[in-house]
Amino acid sequence: MKLLVVGSVAFDAIETPFGKTDKILGGAATYIGLAASVMNVKSGIVSVVGGDFPQTDLDMLSDRGVNIEGIEIVKEGKTFFWSGKYHNDLNTRDTLITEVNVLENFDPKIPASMQDAEILLLGNLHPGVQLSVLEKMEKRPKLVILDTMNFWMDSALDILMEMVKKTDVITINDEEARQLSGEYSLMKAAKKIHEMGPQFVIIKKGEHGALLFHEGKIFAIPALPLEEVFDPTGAGDTFAGGFASYLARKKSVSFETMKAALIVGSAMASFTVEKFGTERLQEITAEDMNRRIKEFKELTTFEVEV
Ligand code: AMP
């Protein structure tokens, strides 16, 4: 099963209580593509960068098995740039700069080699762009996964709702689920979001794990408690990438497979936050993943009798 990824390929400048970076490699699609490569899943990225984007980063993605034919290079343009500063708790951050640059007039083109993708992961981007990608697929993929955020709820709600209607799995965080549904209870929020379209609703709760809702059933996982969180940037994208890649690996989109996929996504995100940007994700192997998944199992398995 091939995974088609749409999202930003970007430069990020990040400041956390532990340090600061200049412009480094970032972007939602970058994290997702790297997650797929750790899982040995064939993926392709549809995105756009400027002439200032290093060929070495494109080569790095390509060498790792990510199809980059769909990454358009606008020679005279500048790559999307995002800069953020995390607060001391690392759970909240301020966006300092967003320079949309070449993403402003992005007209996604899907390479013929990716038209048969069975899973489409729409990374956080303008919902109009996400929708246009789905419309450009000759055949509807088996599964459409949508990642979005409050920014689009504030600025492009109508088109976001249109996108949500065509989505199978939505991943959003708890505050965004509350905003989208108008409900405080996450149970009620998930119910309302189901009614908007998605049969599967994933609500991420940062350091408190994630919930998966489907047809009245609910599955919960914790986040792995880590001694050190260095930089949370890309955790959500890595989570979505790990989740989608596991489904692609297992060639299944059932609720049972999604439960395991949630663990994989969460385990992979726990690596991303250990170093700045994509650095840690570029280091880890399938064996590292298996070790961490084992830790997850030990954390959550118990027998009890009264
Ligand atoms: P996350 O920490 O999972 O929310 O994702 C962070 C990544 O999202 C960074 O690498 C940014 O380059 C990218 N990003 C931030 N804002 C936007 C935006 N408005 N559109 C597309 N990508 C963005």
pLDDT attached to residue 253: 96
Taking only the tens place, the pLDDT of each residue in 22-57 is 999 999 999 999 999 999 999 999 999 999 999 999
Phi first, then psi: what are they for 121, rounded to 5°?
A: -110, 110
CA of 265 to the centre of ligand 1 (A): 17
Taking only the tens place, the pLDDT of each residue in 218-245 is 999 988 888 888 999 999 999 999 999 9
Whole-number Å distance between alpha carbons of 239 and 204: 9
Evaluate if residue 1 carries a pLDDT over 80: no
Work out which ligand 1 atom sits closest to the CA atom of 10. Answer: 12
Average pLDDT over residues 76-99: 93
Q: In the CATH hierarchy, which top-level class contains the domain 3-300?
A: alpha beta
Average pLDDT over residues 253-281: 96
Q: 145 with 6: CB under 8 angstroms?
A: no
How do the domains of the chain map onto residue ranges? Answer: 3-300
pLDDT attached to residue 241: 98
pTM of the model: 0.96
pLDDT attached to residue 208: 87
Give CA separation, 212 vs 7, 39, 145, 204, in Å.
23, 21, 13, 9
Average pLDDT over residues 288-294: 95
The answer for residues whose C-beta is within 8 angstroms of residue 71's C-beta and 6 or more apart is: 9, 45, 46, 47, 48, 49, 58
pLDDT attached to residue 89: 84
Taking only the tens place, the pLDDT of each residue in 181-213 is 999 999 999 999 999 999 999 999 988 899 999
Q: 3 with 36: CB under 8 angstroms?
A: yes
Q: Half-sphere exposure (CA, 13 Å, Cβ side) for 232? A: 18
Report which of residues 178 and 1 the model is more confident about: 178
Three-state DSSP at 5 gives strand
Whole-number Å distance between alpha carbons of 174 and 108: 30
Work out which ligand 1 atom sits closest to the CA atom of 239. Answer: 3
pLDDT attached to residue 207: 82
Q: 264 with 39: CB under 8 angstroms?
A: yes
pLDDT attached to residue 92: 84
Give CA separation, 158 vs 11, 145, 261, 305, in Å.
29, 19, 30, 51
Q: Could you tell which of 8, 25, 47 is best to mutate to test the pocket of ligand 1, judged by most ligand atoms within 8 Å of the CB? A: 8
Listing DSSP states for 58-94 in one string gives: HHHHHHTTEE-TTEEEETTS---EEEEEE-TTSS-EE
CA of 163 to the centre of ligand 1 (A): 19
Q: How long is the chain?
A: 306
**What rounded mean pLDDT belongs to the chain?**
95
